[in-house]
Amino acid sequence: MAVSSVSFQVNNVSMEDLLNESEVFTNSSKPGSIVMGKVAGFNKDSGNEYVIVSMGTKSEGRIDVSELDHKPEIGSDIEAMVISTDHESGMIRLSRRELEAQRGWDVVKESYEKDLPVSGIVRSQGNRGYNVNVSGLNLFLPHSHLGSLIQGSDRGRKSAVIGSTYMFKILELDSRKKSGIVSRKVFMEGENSEKWTKFLEKHKINDIVTGHVVKHINIGAFIEVDGVLGFLHKSNISWERLNGDFKNLLPVGEDRQMRIIEIDSDNHRLSMGLKQLSEDPWAAVGQRFKKNDVVKGSVTFLANYGAFVDLGGGIEGLLHVSEMSWTRKINHAGEILKKNQEVETKVLNVDPEKKKIALGLKQLFSNPWDDLKNSVKIGDVMKVKVADVTNFGVFVKITDDIDGLIRKEDISWEEPAVDPRKNFKTGDEVEVKVVEMNFEEKKIGCSIRHLLPNPYKKLKNKYGKGSIIKGQVTGIVDFGIFVKIDNELEGLVHLSAMTEEESAGYKKMYKKGDSLTVVLRSVDPESRKISLSTKDVQRAIDREEIESYIDQNENYLPTSSPFSNLKTVITSNQ
């Protein structure tokens, strides 16, 4: 496109000059032409302000002020593109924006064809991305191609990039719309690939390099080495546990010697180590610590599973909660220890390969369970104090360190067992019998009911098998009915112990409180189970009538009578 230089002489104009000027005007007024002029003044039309551009004695042009970055001074030079001409007034409509867009398109197109990056200013933000001005041309930057533009405290505040200048890679162009798409992400990937190529030519794993601390995050620091960004995890800063903030050890902007501990060239990942510059203290841990050694250290970390103890020289041991007490169940190490507390422990195991040392605290004391084996046995009766009361039983002090449990079922013979909290409180003195001792599980079972008369034995002695007893229905369940007999104990009439007619309709036939005649089948005093029957009732009644008749007429029966040995048969079948 022709760029016309227009002269603005007003004196001593020759005919030749006028003819030449006329030719310039003709060429300059063509749409798309680029012209030079001077700012002659300003005017307003329909609310819009325009710059009047003098283009010689024959013509004037105007440019919308909104197209300019700032309002120009009168007499200053200005360059623009011809858009159209009003033939009646001779006024030429000019555009600075179109000129910049045209020139920008030429630059962008050449860069795209030659696969070169471009520099652009982020102008504004939309729903899907940003408008980027590249040499006067507006191109689109999608959110997904921001790359590393948004970092650190600016994350989540995308407007922070507006007004900033960055390098971009052109992904595609639309020549009809004079628009395109750019990417910061692709540009950075290309830059990073070149840097990684050079880095890999120069460095390998275990090399000691100078790293520049770029940025901190909670779990470590980003380190730049020869243009490549690596990461130093806080666990690789020191062999010792860092209880405080590690950031003061690695100020941003500081250069430090570090060791390359991992290179992942495929994914462009670089891991750095600072502690790896010194010898691993675990390499000689077997010489420092041996099983059963008693060691001193400082508690560095507390958790529900245990506590870490600093043994010095970058070595930590784990004191598990199960190794803290012989008798107490510990849910968190903080129940026993405090952070920074000096503690003495015993070494239980040393594993240099896994870099683990197991410690024990309870091993420094005698095991009270061993002493208990010689002082208490099953069947012992003792007076003890209540240590705690729960809904499932009562804990009592067997020794100062060991508790026994009276389950609520072992408090009395009453059924169902009552809530222990209604009858006991901490500090009460009770007499118990030791009924269980499990040293592996560290459990002692105690009982109060074993010291009381067993009502089931009493019932068994009072009624023989097959006795007819009056009772009262106390419960109806899917497998039978419960009946209280002797105004004291409950027994079960199972479905199998009912007549066929009863078992089919017992839920409608009986209700709580009904009187019921049953036959005693069996009594188990230990399991506290009583088996009853209704289908055997009639047979038992018949048997009693026969026995009664025989007793009354025994002396009168002839020896040849078929009933002479009936009593013996009946008795033997009971």
Q: What is the DSSP letter of 418?
A: P
CA distance 218 to 238: 16
- Of the given ranges (19-33, 81-95, 120-134), which has the lowest mean pLDDT? 19-33
- Mean pLDDT score of the chain: 84
Homologous superfamily (CATH) for 203-277? Nucleic acid-binding proteins (2.40.50.140)
Identify the H or E element spanning 191. Answer: helix 184-202
Confidence (pLDDT) at 218: 79
**CATH code for the structural domain at 455-535:** 2.40.50.140
Portion of the chain with pLDDT greater than 90, in percent: 44
Better-predicted residue by pLDDT, 434 or 571: 434
Residue 508 pLDDT > 90: yes
Number of Cβ within a 10 Å radius of residue 352: 15
Level-2 CATH architecture, domain 368-451: Beta Barrel (2.40)
Residue 227 pLDDT > 80: yes
Going from N- to C-terminal start, the domains of the chain cover 3-99, 203-277, 281-364, 368-451, 455-535
Residue 49 pLDDT > 50: yes
Residue 143 pLDDT > 80: yes
Confidence (pLDDT) at 68: 83
SS3 107: helix
Residue 302 pLDDT > 80: yes
pTM higher than the cut 0.85? no
Q: Do the domains at 203-277 and 368-451 have one common CATH topology? A: yes
- Of the given ranges (65-79, 287-301, 497-511, 555-569), which has the lowest mean pLDDT? 555-569
Number of Cβ within a 10 Å radius of residue 334: 14
CA distance 309 to 417: 47
> Residue 395 — pLDDT band, cuts 50, 70, 90?
very high
Residue 518 pLDDT > 80: yes
Confidence (pLDDT) at 479: 95
Residue 130 pLDDT > 60: yes
Residue 4 pLDDT > 80: no
The arithmetic mean of pLDDT across residues 452-481, rounded, is 92
Are the C-beta atoms of residues 258 and 211 closer than 8 Å to each other? yes
**SS3 of the chain: helix, strand, coil, percent, to 5:** 25, 40, 35
Strands 443-447, 403-407: pairing kind: parallel
Confidence (pLDDT) at 84: 84
User: Which residues sit opposite 524 in a β-bridge?
Assistant: 529
CA distance 385 to 404: 10
Confidence (pLDDT) at 522: 94
Confidence (pLDDT) at 23: 42
- Of the given ranges (15-24, 38-47, 184-193, 508-517), which has the lowest mean pLDDT? 15-24
Q: What is the DSSP letter of 419?
A: P
Confidence (pLDDT) at 11: 40
CA distance 411 to 452: 10
Confidence (pLDDT) at 27: 47
Residue 559 pLDDT > 70: no
Portion of the chain with pLDDT greater than 70, in percent: 88
Are the C-beta atoms of residues 95 and 102 closer than 8 Å to each other? no
Q: Which two tokens stand for residue 419?
A: 């809530």
> Dmax over Cα atoms in the chain, in whole Å?
179
Residue 151 pLDDT > 60: no
Q: Which two tokens stand for residue 408?
A: 């609520």
**Look-up: residue for tokens 């009693």?**
544
The arithmetic mean of pLDDT across residues 319-327, rounded, is 93
The arithmetic mean of pLDDT across residues 398-404, rounded, is 91
> Residue 45 — pLDDT band, cuts 50, 70, 90?
confident
CA distance 263 to 259: 11
The arithmetic mean of pLDDT across residues 155-173, rounded, is 76
Confidence (pLDDT) at 189: 80
**Nearest one of 330, 328, 325, 327 to 303, comparing CA atoms:** 330
Confidence (pLDDT) at 245: 73
pLDDT tens digits, residue range 376-391?
Answer: 999 999 999 999 999 9
pLDDT tens digits, residue range 56-70?
Answer: 756 788 888 888 878
CATH class held by domain 3-99: mainly beta
> Residue 14 — pLDDT band, cuts 50, 70, 90?
very low
User: Which residues sit opposite 3 in a β-bridge?
Assistant: 34
Using CA atoms of 213, 217, 219, 225 in order, give the dihedral in degrees to the nearest 10. Answer: -30
Confidence (pLDDT) at 243: 63
pLDDT tens digits, residue range 331-373?
Answer: 999 999 999 999 999 999 999 989 899 999 999 998 898 888 8
Q: Which residues contact 550 (CB under 8 A, 6 or more apart)?
A: 557, 563, 566, 567
The arithmetic mean of pLDDT across residues 314-332, rounded, is 91
**CATH code for the structural domain at 281-364:** 2.40.50.140
Residue 235 pLDDT > 80: yes
> Residue 148 — pLDDT band, cuts 50, 70, 90?
low
Q: Which two tokens stand for residue 403?
A: 């508790």
The arithmetic mean of pLDDT across residues 253-259, rounded, is 94
Better-predicted residue by pLDDT, 493 or 488: 493
Residue 147 pLDDT > 80: no
Between vectors from CA 459 to CA 456 and to CA 465, what angle results, nearest 5°? 110
Residue 551 pLDDT > 90: no
Confidence (pLDDT) at 159: 58
Confidence (pLDDT) at 24: 41
Confidence (pLDDT) at 7: 34
- Of the given ranges (147-151, 159-163, 249-253, 274-278), which has the lowest mean pLDDT? 147-151
Residue 155 pLDDT > 60: no
CA distance 485 to 276: 82
Confidence (pLDDT) at 71: 84
Specify burial of residue 463 (Cβ count, 10 A radius: 0-12, 13-18, 19+): middle
